[in-house]
Amino acid sequence: MSSPPIAARQSPLGWARRNLFRSRWDAAVTVVAAVLVGYAVVRAVRFVFVTGRWEIVRVNLKLLMVGRFPDQHLLRVSVAVVVAAGVGGLVAGCLHRRQADAGRLVWRPPGAVWAIRAFVARSWPLLLVTLLVLSLTSTPGPWVTAGAALAALVVARLLGTRLPKQLHAVIFVGAALAPFLLVWYLADAVGWDGWGGLMLNVFIAVTSIVLCFPLGVLAALGRRSSMPVVRGLSTVTIELVRGAPLFVLLLMANVALGFFVPPDQAPGRVARAIVVFTIFTAAYLAEIVRGGLQSLPPGQEEAAKALGLSPVRVTFLVVLPQALRNVIPAQVGQFISLFKDTTLAGAAMTLFELLQVGQSVTAQGPFAGQALLPEAFAFVGLLFWTGAYTMSRESQRLERRLGVGQR
């Protein structure tokens, strides 16, 4: 019996018949699922465009984004955003040029259209949500900041593709120092404990991620060390931290620290939160990295030793890069969890982060007693989803580039 033609096999009707209506049971499940999904979509669309009262978000947009940051210092936030976009574009352009020269990417002639197209294709969810937030603003300042950031990103990306390789090392060192300078620039006007909104969540998450990664790698290496003291200390630390709830650790940092350190010498609440998130995430990251180390065949290490490499070179040049490459999805998943867990700092340490802002604005005079929590929490959830989804997309992009899961 001859097989059906290719066009019939690839038609939508044929695909639906094979995958959705293969039997009566499959057809029933498909119909029920379609009804439920359709009902959920209709309710969501009706909530967003018809019944949702979004004035609470429009009025409190500044509180949701930057908390109580003084108006006279908002220019510093705009400058920091534009500079961060420029630094990111410059680094992206340099990396693209190096990978193209190495034959890993197809070289495209630099141009503004190419840079904008690459940015849109890579960050369209973030771009759409940014446009949504800008549409809720009532002043031109955010629009000017967004336009300047986009221009800085595109120009820096084009510049990075044209710069000679001799300057790349200087650019990378400057890019590593730029976040510290920007944080100092913002904290010089308002201390960390005066920050709030989404800016505080992003600051805590990014700082904790940067600090916990090397700490987690060292803890994983320490747990596999041949020295009993190092291995024992690493194991005890990891298991103790992983066995304690994150919320309890944040409460202890907020309350119990005062019994051991004088109040005038104790660090601020934001600094305590960063320390707790760093240690907690590093303990989980250590187990992720240890799993990556155990996934490598012993022949890799034996071959490197046969070439005469020292144990340090074997670890950091052969074993560790492959282990980190194998566990990229798990690492990014832990970082996404850290970003979302920053909301616990508001409940445990009374920080004015995004979720606390979303809950407190519903008690304002014009909105009190109107049951506007769904609107406020929907906007907060959208911002967190955008950050988490962007991190997930970048993780998948990195996996494809490094060939994770391929032989």
- Helix 269-294 to helix 246-254 angle, to the nearest 10 degrees? 150
40, 103: one domain: no
* Buried-state track 211-227, b at ≥16 Cβ within 10 A, e below 16: bbbebbbebbbbbeeee
CA nearest neighbour of 134 among 87, 81, 88: 81
135, 21: one domain: no
CA nearest neighbour of 154 among 81, 100, 90: 90
23, 108: one domain: no
173, 207: one domain: no
Q: What are the pLDDT tens digits along the chain (407 aa)? A: 445 554 445 578 888 888 888 888 888 999 999 999 999 999 999 998 999 899 999 999 999 999 999 989 999 999 999 999 999 989 888 887 777 776 655 555 556 676 677 777 778 888 899 999 999 988 899 999 999 998 998 889 888 888 888 888 888 898 899 999 999 999 999 988 889 999 999 999 999 999 999 999 999 999 988 889 999 999 999 999 999 999 999 999 888 877 777 777 788 899 999 999 999 999 999 999 999 998 888 888 888 888 888 888 888 888 898 899 889 999 999 999 999 999 999 889 989 999 999 999 998 888 888 888 999 999 999 999 999 999 998 888 888 877 665 55
CA 360, CA 143: separation in Å to the nearest integer? Answer: 27
104, 217: one domain: no
28, 31, 32, 34 alpha-carbon torsion, rounded to 10°: 150
Residue 110 placed within a domain: yes
Q: Is 403 exposed, middle or buried (0-12, 13-18, 19+ CB in 10 A)?
A: exposed
Residue 67 placed within a domain: no
Residue 62 placed within a domain: no
CA 296, CA 343: separation in Å to the nearest integer? Answer: 36
Quote the pLDDT of residue 307. Answer: 84
Question: 405 Cβ partners below 8 Å, 6+ apart?
Answer: 399
Residue 377 placed within a domain: yes
Question: Are the beta carbons of 272 and 254 closer than 8 angstroms?
Answer: yes
169, 230: one domain: no
Residue 56 placed within a domain: no
Residue 58 placed within a domain: no
What are residue 353's phi and psi, to 5 degrees?
-85, -175
CA 170, CA 239: separation in Å to the nearest integer? Answer: 40
Quote the pLDDT of residue 256. Answer: 82
Residue 308 placed within a domain: yes
207, 304: one domain: yes
**3-class secondary structure, 192:** helix
Is this prediction's pTM over 0.95?
Answer: no
Q: What is the DSSP string of 86-103?
A: HHHHHHHHHHHHHHHHTT
Q: What is the DSSP string of 258-304?
A: GGTS-TTTSPPHHHHHHHHHHHHHHHHHHHHHHHHHHTS-HHHHHHH
Name the domain count of the chain. Answer: 3
Q: Is 157 exposed, middle or buried (0-12, 13-18, 19+ CB in 10 A)?
A: buried
CA 93, CA 114: separation in Å to the nearest integer? Answer: 12
Question: Are the beta carbons of 156 and 93 closer than 8 angstroms?
Answer: yes
Residue 42 placed within a domain: yes
313, 387: one domain: yes
Domain hosting 167: range is 72-189
271, 404: one domain: yes
Question: Are the beta carbons of 173 and 91 closer than 8 angstroms?
Answer: no
284, 261: one domain: yes
CATH value at residue 347? 1.10.3720.10
CA 216, CA 284: separation in Å to the nearest integer? Answer: 8
Quote the pLDDT of residue 123. Answer: 81
**3-class secondary structure, 144:** helix
183, 206: one domain: no
212, 180: one domain: no
Question: Are the beta carbons of 339 and 201 closer than 8 angstroms?
Answer: yes
Quote the pLDDT of residue 1. Answer: 45
